[in-house]
Copies of this chain bind each other. A is one copy, B any other.
């Protein structure tokens, strides 16, 4: 049970929740839903995975604005056959991540669903004025960085689909450690909550966006919002080792699959060259997380991938299953 949050003055049980905002801070507001059959498959994800991920995708959005997540609202739509154990599992998974990221569940709503299971989360965060990280602050010449690895969630999902065609067991997990990391990344993505708020606070980044729909989508989105082009170098991309192996094994190009695959929930951000010393401070503070330079914003309008010395268009975004 998480410790009581003194800022949550009225919690679950009244018509609405009442909370004290962080003094002098702005509100960050986001909502994102997970729908069965669109965003998850119950053969692949446990109820706890689904609850965890429904919060994680929202934490990622707040982090990419430089914000700190504070209060969550949960809206559950439950099919008639849902068991109490499944609802408990969902809540356990959500509260597990909430405890890790110091988020209080402030309220919610449960209704029955004549269709799929839907887990819709709204997250309220806070950010200091002038520390907001937008998509639109990038300039030509800014260096693009990405946290962690890419392609892992896409490889994990591909493995789960491949495996489920062979077996009837629920929630299969691979024995290979690197591939198991990929499956975990699909089922329980770790949002970059801490790094997002450090990037905002230190003002090291000029623009930021999360990789919810993959690197290609994020690069295109950040460049479009900033009014720039972008160039990504395929040799630099931090493709997850498990993803690299799995896609090669399947006869798929690991670069294309990892760039267009979604659900990574890493951060893409732009750093002006005069702020690279600030970035070194961020990297020290983020202890252990890898940061990889993947390319730069350009003055042209196009978004390109450099591969084997040749320019090709960056593969386009990601479509949920």
A residues with a Cβ closer than 8 A to B are 9-10, 13-21, 25-33, 35-39, 60-62, 64-65, 67, 71, 73-75, 77, 106-109, 111-116, 118, 120, 122-125, 127, 132, 134-136, 208-210, 225, 320
Jot down 6 A-B pairs with beta carbons below 8 A, ordered by A. Answer: A14-B134, A16-B62, A17-B28, A19-B27, A29-B122, A73-B122
Residue of B nearest to A58 (CB): B16
Contact call B109/A31, Cβ cutoff below 8 A: yes
Cβ-defined contact, A33 with B111, below 8 A: yes
Given known contacts A32-B109, A38-B113, A118-B77, A135 and B14 CB-to-CB distance under 8 angstroms: yes
- Does A26 lie within 8 Å of B32, measured CB to CB? no
Residue of B nearest to A196 (CB): B15
Number of identical monomers bound together in the oligomeric complex: 2
A179 to chain B, nearest CB (A): 28
B29 engages A124 (CB within 8 Å)? yes
**A320 closest partner in B (C-beta):** B111
Inter-chain contact B132/A9, CB cutoff 8 Å: yes
Q: Which of B10, B14, B67, B113 is within 8 Å of A115, CB to CB?
A: B113
A115 and B112: CB pair below 8 A?
no
Establish whether residues B30 and A75, one from each chain, have CB atoms under 8 Å apart when the complex forms: no
CA distance A33 to B121 in the complex (A): 12
- Chain B residues, Cβ within 8 Å of A77: 33, 35, 118
Residue contact B71 to A29, C-beta cutoff 8 Å: yes
Given contacts A33-B77, A107-B29, A108-B31, are A64 and B16 in contact (CB under 8 A)? yes
Among A122, A127, A225, the one with the most B-chain Cβ atoms within 10 Å of its Cβ is A122
In the A-B complex, the 4 residue pairs with the closest CB atoms: A115-B115, A16-B30, A122-B122, A31-B73
| Contact status A111-B65, CB under 8 Å | no
